Amino acid sequence: MPKVVIDESRCKGCGLCTIACAKGLITLSDKLNKMGFQPAVMTPEALEACTSCTLCAQMCPDVAITIYRQVKTDGTTTKA
């Protein structure tokens, strides 16, 4: 399961998440979504480097980003 899930259909391409990501892992797509915006995306390599800090999700005015973290006690994944 990915650490970050971006709902491209909800994203209006404002770019706030790209600024919030301290590692610069989020970019805007070259393709348009159904609303005509360039949604935020992450490459598989970026997903691996992500620390699940939640800054991108906190900045998203459209609540288009969901962060998942690994719980270390029993190994299950939960929503941040």
The string of pLDDT tens digits covering residues 54-65 is 999 999 999 999
- Banded model confidence at residue 69, pLDDT cuts 50, 70, 90: confident
Task: Name which of 1-10, 12-21, 35-44, 46-55 the model is least confident about.
Answer: 1-10
State the DSSP string of 6-58.
E-TTT-----HHHHH-TT---EE-SS--TTS---EE--HHHHHH-----HHHH
User: CA 75: distance to chain centroid?
Assistant: 22
pLDDT of residue 70: 75
**Assigned CATH topology for domain 4-79:** Alpha-Beta Plaits (3.30.70)
